[in-house]
């Protein structure tokens, strides 16, 4: 199965030779990615990777990038963080319909990761919720990749939390 996802990284000062980066990434097995180098000190790799499941595809890409650029620091795996407009786009709805659905089901609709202007959700939470309601065409591969991206992002954030705080938080947020 082929999975589509993006990995975004922060680069170290020593890894800013773009031509050399592209060569190293290709040699490490990232020849199935479109490489974007727009913002200084950042790189984004848009993958179309084959794997037995989304998890293995994403993890193999993470491994290949780390092999090529050991100092690269993962910023985000995508698709994960989305606004209502993004969700509407991937589900074939309008933003207005998505917003009406959210408001009409306020107690059931997944809680945002960030509530504000704009609010941000995990894509997998909303897709799974829509899928559970029935009547919506949800791409199963997209849902699988979004769940994997969410897990990668949560693991990335968790590694920065103090161990004592992690234990305390587990009791409080359950």
Domain positions in the chain? 2-78
Q: What would the pLDDT profile of 33-91 be if each residue is shown by its tens digit?
A: 999 987 889 999 999 999 999 999 999 999 999 999 999 999 999 999 999 999 999 99
Model confidence at 161: pLDDT above 80: no
> Between β-strands 121-122 and 73-78, what pairing exists: parallel, antiparallel or unpaired?
unpaired
Q: What is the pLDDT at residue 18? A: 81
Q: What is the pLDDT at residue 28? A: 96
Q: What is the pLDDT at residue 59? A: 96
Cα angle at 120 between 114 and 125, to 5 degrees?
105
In the structure encoding, which two tokens stand for residue 105, read together? 């089901």
Show Cβ contacts of residue 13 under 8 Å, excluding neighbours closer than 6 positions: 41
In the structure encoding, which two tokens stand for residue 153, read together? 């992002």
Model confidence at 159: pLDDT above 90: no
Q: Which fold has domain 2-78?
A: Alpha-Beta Plaits (3.30.70)
Q: What would the pLDDT profile of 93-129 be if each residue is shown by its tens digit?
A: 999 999 999 999 999 999 999 999 999 999 999 999 9
Q: Please answer whether residues 9 and 65 qualify as being in contact, where contact means their C-beta atoms are separated by less than 8 angstroms.
A: yes
């Amino acid at each position: 199965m082929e999975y589509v996802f993006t990995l975004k990284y922060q680069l170290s000062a020593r890894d800013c030779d773009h031509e050399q980066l592209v060569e190293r990434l290709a040699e490490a097995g990232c020849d199935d990615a479109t490489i974007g180098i727009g913002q200084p000190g950042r790189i984004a790799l848009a993958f179309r990777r084959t794997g037995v499941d989304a998890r293995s595809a994403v993890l193999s890409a993470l491994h290949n990038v780390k092999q090529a650029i050991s100092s690269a620091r993962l910023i985000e795996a995508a698709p994960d963080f989305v606004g209502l407009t993004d969700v509407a786009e991937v589900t074939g709805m309008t933003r207005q319909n998505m917003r009406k659905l959210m408001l009409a089901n306020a107690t059931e609709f997944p809680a945002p990761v960030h509530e504000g202007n704009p609010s941000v959700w995990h894509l997998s939470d909303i897709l799974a919720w829509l899928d559970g309601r029935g009547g919506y065409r949800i791409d199963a591969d997209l849902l699988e990749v979004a769940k994997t991206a969410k897990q990668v992002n949560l693991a990335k954030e968790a590694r920065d939390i103090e161990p004592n705080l992690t234990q305390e938080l587990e009791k409080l947020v359950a």
